[in-house]
Structure 1
């Protein structure tokens, strides 16, 4: 198998050892194992895209898309044909699922969805008062499509009134914002096991507020908080501490914001690099303590809204005509996504809000004059497929292996491994089947028979590794399977494995 070097020869048998007597999970690497070159990858694997409307069954007059899960589910909102107001929705291959509002509420929106299909968002009571409308928001969760007020899940903690549920991860942690009393500053909160935790703010006085941006699978939270003098600053919250990401030595202006964080700990948002008091933000990446200005198109602002585990960043920017356009950052360059879709499609892509680990990009665009939710589908979509399941290690995290790019002879692919034990080592294994070998109760290799090459892995301080590889030109097309086996001192067996990953070399 080319990903681990040499010819694709399977070892006979699944007895727990290779034919040469080497244990199946020996942490020592053989002399002929190819060491995979790994480096920080800010870029996408270059691909063309086709554009599609997320509302596959054309059941809505308009819609928006906020977050995409690797399962293919997308959280958003839409105006159903014949309906008086917008509702929360989940877009998927099965069609558009409209989510009910709370009784008595008129408007709703879903902002995130997890692997179980549980969505979070808000349900709003809109009350006319004279010539104005007053909106009373309520944080909600949709479980199996049924709406539930978030207050029904709260059993203790800080007495915040939840107004919006903004994010949910696969562990069931819910991120949102609310307030202590009518008219008070908004506060970001985390709901876990029924307990509400106020994530605090960056303002030195008693009157600061904050708002959420995103949360990853480790429960790290990013967002925006009032900083000194009440100018907004990007923050990272973890382990009970809120960190100010606004470094005035680099961000010379007064404001910054954080919108997303991946499972490798990379954060994207915006920052003001000019000491001109105009507060224009430019798309920004925070990576392992470094701050990177992602640049502009011909306009004066850009926004980074989403980042996947492979480092692909998406968002929006102003072009030379000061129009909003959806963008991505590839090989250090800012790319207008309208240049990556077929000419004459009828679409003008306005903003890209998120991207999953297969490279599918979702956002909002204008199609024949109507606001529509779009998905950009890479030309090699489906070449990598997660199947089976890994086993949980220390802290209850299960290592997660994904792939992106076009796995073809001579092609470049990206492999991202996350949620492993920080600083530990392991092996990337390749096989040509789905045979099973147990390394511990409930912890199985699922890619047997194995090929005769394996490659060492080293995890960083976030428990992750990113590999970008060029496949050999002579690689035979076919189905190959990958799985990572990792040291984990917190696991009962001392080891854990990722999910298997099916690779269709075309």
Structure 2
């Protein structure tokens, strides 16, 4: 019996190793292309695999917004000129961004933008849209002649009404550097962003807009860097909040996740080679995507799973692909990731498609199970 057990064990191990893949990678890279001679950057993706982003000229100016599908490829969204880009798209195909330096909403069936207005000033940005169609971003307030400047505030847009979300500054004048920005919203009416405090510090902020008036909460900043600027940048439907603390003296950001039960931020560990980082999107599996960088400013797209650790996405694509992935900006519930990188030295938007489990890996698993099953039978006998 013993010799037969050893024979099956060796055969199973040989079968497992020989059936394994020659190269290990987890994503295929799709080049989303561009329009004309512009560079392209992808910022948002919905669960249907539809992608939106921006087009940049050789001077780095945003000259257009795009909408991409696997069937139609890249199409330019309509605008009347001026700074234009698309930031986000929901599953209904509603797209938000900036068109001609104004907050804009596009419908994919028309590709024509609707100006949703500002807070009385000339410019603004629509940054995120929820599945229920609520939009958040920031916009200028009316120009202040005494200060010879204007400030911008976070807003929420619903039912064709734009609402000023205010700041954490409850003491000083509205125009005393009282800035705020809203970065994300979920369907429960929770909004995350940043806002100035009474001391003009920039702290992470959480708004609740389920009542008659917005309620703002100061979330502070990174626990290990108390003097840093605090950012709450993303929130998912479960209410998971992720942000970072920006340390100006270092030119670096330290990622963090909000612990709802303790009311504190928990540091998110980054890669040793890229100690700084920021995350720009999160799905319901708590997978986060963003960027990591080092003291020299080298930037790599990163993926973080709260059940695991940060990973450089460049290590998860086929070798010799010609790509260097710089920023990962969006992730959907299928695990598809969009962002921007350099393809053979040219700036291009990318889509990462998760690689299905190959037959060889399935056979590897079956081989291991066979070994375990035989071993268990041998022990019992």
CA distance in 1, matches of 2:226, 2:216: 21
Find 1:227's aligned residue among 197, 202, 214: 197
After superposition, the Cα gap between the structure-2 partners of 1:189 and 1:85, relative to the gap in structure 1 and judged at 3 Å, is: closer
Corresponding position: 1:194 with 2:194: no
Please identify which structure carries the higher strand content: 1
CA distance in 2, matches of 1:350, 1:76: 15
Instruction: Assess if the C-alpha contact under 8 Å between 2:56 and 2:64 holds in 1.
Output: yes
Instruction: Assess if the C-alpha contact under 8 Å between 1:75 and 1:110 holds in 2.
Output: yes
CA distance in 1, matches of 2:76, 2:338: 18
Q: Per-residue deviation at 1:99?
A: 0.6
Instruction: Name 1:318's counterpart in structure 2.
Output: 293
After superposition, the Cα gap between the structure-2 partners of 1:59 and 1:409, relative to the gap in structure 1 and judged at 3 Å, is: farther
Structure 1 segments of 4+ aligned residues over 3 angstroms from their partners:
57-61, 158-162, 247-251, 276-280, 319-322, 407-411
Instruction: Name 2:321's counterpart in structure 1.
Output: 345
Q: Per-residue deviation at 1:333?
A: 2.1
TM-score (norm 1): 0.58
Find 1:262's aligned residue among 218, 225, 236: 236
Find 1:52's aligned residue among 30, 42, 51: 30
Q: Per-residue deviation at 1:116?
A: 2.4
After superposition, the Cα gap between the structure-2 partners of 1:161 and 1:85, relative to the gap in structure 1 and judged at 3 Å, is: closer
Q: Per-residue deviation at 1:377?
A: 0.9
After superposition, the Cα gap between the structure-2 partners of 1:249 and 1:290, relative to the gap in structure 1 and judged at 3 Å, is: closer
Q: Secondary structure at the match of 1:65?
A: strand
Instruction: Name 2:78's counterpart in structure 1.
Output: 100
Q: Secondary structure at the match of 2:220?
A: coil
After superposition, the Cα gap between the structure-2 partners of 1:181 and 1:266, relative to the gap in structure 1 and judged at 3 Å, is: same
Corresponding position: 1:71 with 2:37: no
After superposition, the Cα gap between the structure-2 partners of 1:79 and 1:271, relative to the gap in structure 1 and judged at 3 Å, is: closer
Q: Secondary structure at the match of 1:115?
A: coil
Instruction: Name 1:307's counterpart in structure 2.
Output: 282
- What does residue range 323-338 of structure 1 map to in structure 2 within 5 Å? 323-330=298-305, 331-338=307-314
CA distance in 2, matches of 1:250, 1:359: 31
CA distance in 1, matches of 2:140, 2:296: 40
Instruction: Assess if the C-alpha contact under 8 Å between 1:54 and 1:92 holds in 2.
Output: no
Corresponding position: 1:141 with 2:105: yes
Find 2:126's aligned residue among 145, 165, 189: 165
After superposition, the Cα gap between the structure-2 partners of 1:162 and 1:343, relative to the gap in structure 1 and judged at 3 Å, is: same
Q: Per-residue deviation at 1:270?
A: 0.8
Instruction: Assess if the C-alpha contact under 8 Å between 2:254 and 2:278 holds in 1.
Output: yes
Between 1:287-296 and 1:243-252, the stretch displaced more is 243-252
Q: Per-residue deviation at 1:58?
A: 6.8
Find 1:91's aligned residue among 56, 68, 71: 68
Unaligned runs of 5+ in 2: 1-23, 144-148, 371-381
Between 1:286-295 and 1:177-186, the stretch displaced more is 286-295
Aligned-CA RMSD value: 3.1
Instruction: Assess if the C-alpha contact under 8 Å between 2:52 and 2:87 holds in 1.
Output: yes
Instruction: Assess if the C-alpha contact under 8 Å between 1:256 and 1:281 holds in 2.
Output: no
Instruction: Assess if the C-alpha contact under 8 Å between 2:221 and 2:231 holds in 1.
Output: no
CA distance in 2, matches of 1:317, 1:364: 13
Q: Per-residue deviation at 1:357?
A: 0.9
Q: Secondary structure at the match of 1:229?
A: coil
What whole-Å deviation, never above 9, does each CA across 1:65-115 have from its counterpart, x for those lacking one?
11111121122112599xx9621111221211211113xx33311111122
Find 2:340's aligned residue among 364, 378, 386: 364
